[in-house]
Every structure is written in structure tokens, then in C-alpha cells.
């Protein structure tokens, strides 16, 4: 798999040429890099480390050996079919020699090269297939695939067809998921929204769309020395977390004005039955918003805002919005901290006696687990991190009130370590029901779901502190998102993703559920347009399941006053 150093090499040599070829399209340099990684990433990173010049690297970027491949329907299905066409003998000689030359540098192809009838059918860094030999023989016979600009031109032309097929032609900007959809169309000739990223060639562990999305995110963490990367490169063991999306609305500015509670933001200009069914978020009093529509519709105004890093768009009761006078200012977007804060809400831990080990076999306490042998998130790639997260989320299928009351072999390290790390309580209470909220003066005990509460740090700073020891450790880098798509994407990329809900009745426990990376037959629920309607979840509480969905949109239930999605790198 190409790493960040490989991608930097690729950008240094080819970025300016890619930018010229993409002018006037919504396609990005990072997408082209991702396609190069997906198509020939097993070849050119090895070649460039041998200090070969870029021209030689490009010439050796061939692959996909062919000899009557099972199931192949495109031309040529075998050597005999290639030889039967005009120029076929010359083409076989080129394809055969290309295999021999490349196998001298890439050991994985040595066995194929040893068989005299084997030859390649993928040519160039973007792997144009030999099936196009019938339409454009000169491209292959003239070895134009060795020229980066010629290879790129065909790639971009095919991607433009993908834009038309996905209905994205004419757009000025595409999201990462939309770019991946175009890439899937590039690979398969079409795109089915309901299947999401699980489309295209399957290599035994990942589909083309899934791998392309991973490479796209990785490419976004790499920039030339004179530029700034689109995403922050995380340390080893942490996932790539996208930056919050800023609002784009330019209409009049308003502020929320509620006498009590919060303003419900709805997906449609109507009060649903039950009233919480179409609620997508809750906005606190005084929160700024921007209008999308000029006039209210059925008493609702369509607005857009950002809340704790989450881009929100929906309908709010016009009677609870007050027009802001004067020059309209942009809505501030909360960015996750890139380094641990030294004041305010700081990383903290409850001190434990020297040599004391906190085990999951013991009753739940305020201490984070530190027993030996815990599974840990390791690796750099999204696939490695997601696999590590799955190992953490081994929940029992038994109904128990507290996860740490399960038999020792079935207790989930993941949720216990996560709760203790994010919000450790100050005294012993059931771990499935408690969290703590840290403030400038210390921290205090709270119940599950309070992490969804807005502004909790400022309130806690005024409350009675308890003795906590600050400790140095990586930043939490939390960012709230309100759309299930972003939450599931983050989990699939190996990030820790949570759904948190706060109860209406003070003193009663809310709930926290972890979102599980998709894999195998376990999938999030999506609608016909591919939008996630229910993330794949892991549950510990009154009922436990390792992977599932539980009650649909449980966090919007009438018993909850607020809810939020949280992402941890």
C-alpha cells in the first residue's frame, strides 16, 4: 500500500500536470492520486524507492496478467484471441516484454513471467485495459501509456463520463463520497447509490470504492512544501478525521430565542407525529443561524448553521428566530483542537495508588482500565485501524445492566476504556450510566448522555472541583457531526464514533452507543439514495449486542432532550 511518502513523491512529479488537466472540472488532484494508488499502487512505490527516474517508473507501470482469466468477457480473453486480430502479434510481444521488464523489479510477478503464454492487459499508471485495443490500437502499439500526459488525458476523459453517469456534471465542487462515486463509475461503468462504497473490483477484503475512498483521505493529508494539506495527518494509531464542513448559506442572519429548552431543527417544515420523528438537531438559545429561504413556509424558516463542528440544515420555527441587525457575520465553525489544551477543559485522570491495576473483572470505578493484555488500536491504514476497533467492540449478546458485570471473557475493553478516557467519573457508579465533564477548576460526576449537552465545560468550571491529576497524552480531537453518513464513514476509516443522547429528566441516565465499522455481511442501513439511515452500532447496557441497529433512531426518542454524534481520531 502506498504511504504518505509515496504520495508526496507522486505529487512532486505530477501535481502541476494534473492541475492543468483538471481545469474546469470538480475533480481534484487528490482523487487522481487516489486512482493511481488504487490502480498501480503495488508497483510505482516499489519502483520509485529503487531511485528509478519517473519516466522509467511510468514505463514499468503495467499489470493484470492475462491468460484465459476465468470469467473475463472483455477482449482479449486469451492469447489466441489477441493474435487473431490485426496487430495482435506485435501487441502480444509488447505485453509480454512489459511483463518481463516489470517482474525484474516487482517480485510478485516473477511466477507469471516464468510462464511463456502470460502477458499484461493493464497499461499505464492509471491502467488502461487492453480491451480498448480494438478501438485505439495506436495507443498500445505506440506505447503512449508510458507518457503521463497521454495516460492522464484518457483517465480524465473517463472520469468526465463518470460525472455524467452519476449526475454530477456541472458541479463546481464534490464531496469525498461524490468523488468516490465518480471513481466507482470509472471502474465499473456505473454507480448504484444504495450500495454505497461497496462496488467495483473486490480484492478479497475491500471493494474498489472502499479502497479508493481510503486513498483519497490519505492523499488529502499530503501537500507540497509550499502548500497546506486539506487534512491533518494523524499520529500512528489514530484515524484521519475530516474537518468540519462550513455553512454556505448567505441569507439573513438570525439568532435562536427560546424561553426554555432548545429549538428543534426539523427535516421538513412540519411538526411530525410523534413530535421528535423529524427532528435532526437541537439548537441552544442565542445560537446564530443563516437563512436559506427568504420567507417562512408554514411557519418554518429553512436555515443553515454549524453546531460543535456539525453542519446543520433544516427548518426551524420562525417565531423562535430573531433577525440580527447590521452587517451579517459568518457562523463560526468549531475546529477540533490540534494539540492538548493547557487551560479550560484539559485532559485529566483520577489518581490511582502506585502499582494499582484496574481490571475489567472488578466493579466499575472512576479509573481507566490499565490491566495488561488490552487490545489496542494500531496501524496507519484505515483498514488496520477499523480492524483494531472491531477487536475492541466484543460485546456479549446477553442482557445485563452494566457491561462490566458480564463474565470476564465477554467484557468489552473498548467501551470501558473509552468512557474512562473521555469523561472519567469521580466515584464508583455503573460504568454504563456515568460520565464526567471536565472544567477549568476540575471535574465532577455526571451521567451517560451529558456529553451531548452544549456548553458543559463552562458550567462545570463554576462547580465544586474534585482532585484530578493532569496527564500528558494525545488530544481527544473530538468533533460533533449530525449526519449519520459522516459518522459511519468515520467509523469505517478507523475512528471512534459515538451516538450520545441526554435524558429530559435531570438525574436519569442518558445513553451512549458506539458505531461499528462495516464489514462482511454487517452493514449500516441506507435508503435508495445511499444515505445512512441507521449506523451499524455496538450496544452495552440493559441489552447487549456486538453489532446491530437496535431501535430505529433511538437517540431522537421523546425521552431524550438532546443528542449528538461524536468522532474521536
Which stretches of 307-455 are DSSP H helices? Answer: 382-392, 413-422
Q: Which of 117, 118, 143 is nearest to 56 (CA)?
A: 143
Same domain, 414 and 525: yes
Phi then psi for residue 420, to 5 deg, are -70, -35
Do 309 and 367 fall into the same domain? no
Query: Is 392 part of any domain?
Result: yes
Q: Sign of the CA dihedral 127, 133, 136, 142?
A: positive
- Sheet of 62-66, strands arranged across: 62-66, 119-123, 128-129
The domain boundary, picked from 302, 323, 344, lies at 323
Q: Is 20 part of a structural domain of the chain?
A: yes
Rounded CA-CA distance 300/280 in Å is: 14
CB atoms within 10 A of CB 359: 12
* Cβ–Cβ under 8 Å, residues 455 and 566: no
**SS3 per-residue string spanning 101-134:** HHHCCCHHHHHHHCCCCCEEEEECCCCEEHHHHC
Angle between helix 208-219 and helix 382-392 axes, rounded to 10 deg: 110
Q: Are residues 304 and 407 located together in one domain of the fold?
A: no
User: Left if phi > 0, otherwise alpha if psi is -120 to 50, otherwise beta: which for 261?
Assistant: left
What angle, 0 to 180 degrees and rounded to 10, lies between the N-to-C axes of helices 148-165 and 4-21? 80
Question: Which segments in the chain show pLDDT lower than 70?
Answer: 66-71, 327-328, 337-341, 345-349, 364-366, 375-376, 390-482
* Per-residue CA distances from 7 to 148, 216, 219, 380 (Å): 16, 11, 7, 15
| H-helix segments, 493-567 | none
- Domain containing 268 — which CATH number? 2.30.30.40
Give a yes or no: residue 247 inside a domain: no
Look at residues 61, 64, 67, 60 and name the one whose alpha carbon lies nearest to residue 115.
67
Residue 343 within a domain: no
What residues are paired with 445 via a beta bridge?
Answer: 436
Same domain, 166 and 278: no
Q: How far apart are CA 354 and CA 143, in angstroms?
A: 69
- What nine digits make up the cell of 230? 486539506
In this structure, what is the dihedral angle of CA atoms 196, 202, 208, 211, given to the nearest 10 degrees? 100
Q: Do 181 and 258 reside in the same domain of the chain? A: no
Residue 345 lies in a domain: no
Q: What is the dihedral of CA 546, 549, 554, 556, to 10 degrees?
A: 120
The dihedrals phi and psi of 310, each to the nearest 5 degrees, come to -100, 130
Q: How far apart are CA 312 and CA 558, in angstroms?
A: 21
Give alpha helix (H) positions in 252-395. 382-392
Q: Report the C-alpha gap between 405 and 281 in whole angstroms.
A: 34
* Statement to judge: residues 459 and 521 lie in one domain: yes
For residues 427 and 550, membership in a common domain is answered with yes
Domain carrying residue 196: 4-219
DSSP symbol at 522: B
DSSP state of 498: E
Residue 324 DSSP symbol: P
Q: For residue 497, give Cα distances in angstroms to 144, 491, 492, 539.
A: 46, 6, 9, 13
Considering the domain architecture, whether residues 36 and 179 belong to the same structural domain is answered as yes
Report the pLDDT value the prediction gives residue 290, as an integer from 0 to 100.
93
What is the per-residue pLDDT for 150?
Answer: 97
pTM over 0.85? The answer is no
Tell me: do 312 and 369 sit in the same domain: no
- Asked if residue 238 belongs to a domain, the reply is no
- Round to whole Å and give the CA distance between 307 and 374: 35
251 contacts 393 by C-beta, under 8 angstroms: no
Is 342 inside any structural domain? no
Domain boundary among 323, 350, 377: 323
> β-pairing, 321-323 with 253-256?
antiparallel
CA–CA separation, 335 and 337 (whole Å): 6
Res 78: pLDDT: 87
Give pLDDT, residue 407.
Answer: 43
* pLDDT of res. 436: 30
> What is the residue whose three cell numbers read 453518513?
485
Render pLDDT for 27-57 as a digit per residue (tens, 0 to 9).
999 999 999 999 999 999 999 999 999 999 9
CB neighbours (10 Å) of residue 505?
8
Within this chain, do residues 445 and 311 fall inside the same structural domain, yes or no? no
Extract the C-alpha cell encoding 25: 472540472
439 half-sphere exposure, CB direction, 13 A CA radius: 17
- Predicted local confidence at residue 411, as pLDDT: 42
Q: Rounded to whole angstroms, how far apart are CA atoms 375 and 391?
A: 7
Q: First-to-last CA distance in the chain?
A: 21
Instruction: Tell me, yes or no, whether 90 and 213 share the same domain.
Output: yes
How many domains in the chain? 3
Residue 22 lies in a domain: yes
Beta strands 496-503 and 560-568, pairing class: antiparallel
Do residues 93 and 27 touch, judged by C-beta distance below 8 A? no
Q: Give the distance from CA 543 to its chain's centroid.
A: 28
Q: Do 450 and 496 have their domain in common? A: yes
Amino acid at each position: 500500500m502506498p504511504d504518505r511518502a509515496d504520495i508526496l513523491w507522486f505529487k512532486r512529479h505530477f501535481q502541476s500536470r494534473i492541475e492543468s488537466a483538471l481545469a474546469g472540472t470538480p475533480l481534484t488532484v487528490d482523487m487522481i492520486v487516489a486512482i493511481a494508488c488504487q490502480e498501480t499502487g503495488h508497483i510505482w512505490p516499489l519502483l520509485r524507492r529503487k531511485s528509478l527516474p519517473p519516466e522509467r517508473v511510468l514505463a514499468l507501470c503495467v499489470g493484470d496478467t492475462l491468460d484465459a482469466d476465468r470469467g473475463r468477457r472483455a477482449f482479449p480473453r486469451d492469447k489466441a484471441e489477441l493474435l487473431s486480430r490485426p496487430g495482435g502479434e506485435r501487441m502480444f510481444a509488447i505485453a509480454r516484454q512489459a511483463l518481463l521488464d516489470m517482474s525484474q523489479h516487482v517480485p510478485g510477478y516473477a511466477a507469471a513471467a516464468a510462464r511463456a503464454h502470460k502477458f499484461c492487459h493493464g497499461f499505464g499508471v492509471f491502467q488502461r485495459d487492453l480491451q480498448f485495443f480494438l478501438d485505439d490500437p495506436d495507443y498500445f502499439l505506440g506505447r503512449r501509456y508510458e507518457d503521463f500526459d497521454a495516460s492522464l488525458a484518457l483517465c480524465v476523459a473517463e472520469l468526465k463520463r463518470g460525472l455524467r453517469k452519476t449526475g454530477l456534471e456541472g458541479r463546481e465542487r464534490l464531496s469525498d463520497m461524490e468523488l468516490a462515486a465518480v471513481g466507482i463509475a470509472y471502474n465499473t461503468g456505473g454507480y448504484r447509490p444504495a450500495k454505497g462504497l461497496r462496488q467495483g473490483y473486490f480484492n478479497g477484503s475491500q471493494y474498489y470504492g472502499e479502497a479508493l475512498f481510503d486513498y483519497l483521505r490519505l492523499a488529502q493529508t499530503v501537500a507540497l512544501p509550499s502548500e497546506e494539506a486539506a487534512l491533518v495527518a494523524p499520529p500512528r494509531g489514530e484515524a484521519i478525521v475530516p474537518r468540519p464542513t462550513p455553512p454556505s448559506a448567505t441569507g439573513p442572519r438570525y439568532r435562536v430565542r427560546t424561553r426554555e429548552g432548545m429549538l428543534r431543527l426539523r427535516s421538513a417544515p412540519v411538526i411530525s407525529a410523534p413530535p421528535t420523528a423529524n427532528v435532526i438537531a437541537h439548537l441552544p438559545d442565542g445560537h446564530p443561524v443563516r437563512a436559506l429561504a427568504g420567507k417562512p413556509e408554514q411557519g418554518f424558516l429553512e436555515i443553515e448553521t454549524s453546531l460543535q463542528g456539525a453542519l446543520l440544515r433544516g427548518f426551524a420555527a420562525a417565531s423562535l428566530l430573531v433577525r440580527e441587525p447590521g452587517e451579517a457575520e459568518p457562523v463560526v465553525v468549531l475546529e477540533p483542537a490540534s494539540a492538548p489544551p493547557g487551560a479550560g477543559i484539559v485532559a485529566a485522570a483520577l489518581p490511582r495508588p502506585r502499582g494499582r491495576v484496574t481490571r475489567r473483572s472488578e466493579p466499575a470505578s472512576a479509573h481507566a482500565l490499565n490491566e495488561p493484555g488490552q487490545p489496542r488500536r494500531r496501524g496507519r491504514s484505515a483498514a488496520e485501524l477499523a480492524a483494531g476497533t472491531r477487536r475492541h467492540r466484543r460485546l456479549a449478546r446477553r442482557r445485563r445492566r452494566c457491561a462490566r458485570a458480564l463474565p470476564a471473557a465477554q467484557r468489552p475493553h473498548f467501551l470501558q476504556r473509552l468512557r474512562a478516557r473521555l469523561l472519567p467519573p469521580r466515584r464508583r457508579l455503573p460504568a454504563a450510566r456515568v460520565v464526567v465533564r471536565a472544567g477549568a477548576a476540575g471535574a465532577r460526576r455526571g451521567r451517560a448522555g451529558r456529553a451531548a449537552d452544549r456548553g458543559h465545560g463552562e458550567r462545570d468550571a463554576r462547580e465544586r472541583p474534585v482532585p484530578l491529576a493532569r496527564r500528558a497524552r494525545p488530544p481527544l480531537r473530538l468533533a460533533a457531526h449530525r449526519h449519520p453518513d459522516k459518522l459511519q464513514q468515520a467509523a469505517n476509516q478507523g475512528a471512534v464514533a459515538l451516538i450520545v443522547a441526554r435524558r429530559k429528566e435531570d438525574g436519569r441516565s442518558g445513553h451512549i452507543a458506539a458505531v461499528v465499522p462495516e464489514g462482511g455481511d454487517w452493514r449500516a442501513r441506507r435508503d435508495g439514495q445511499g444515505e445512512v439511515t441507521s449506523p451499524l452500532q455496538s450496544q452495552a447496557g440493559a441489552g447487549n449486542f456486538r453489532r446491530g441497529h437496535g431501535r430505529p433512531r433511538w437517540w431522537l426518542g421523546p425521552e431524550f432532550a438532546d443528542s449528538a454524534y461524536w468522532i474521536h481520531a
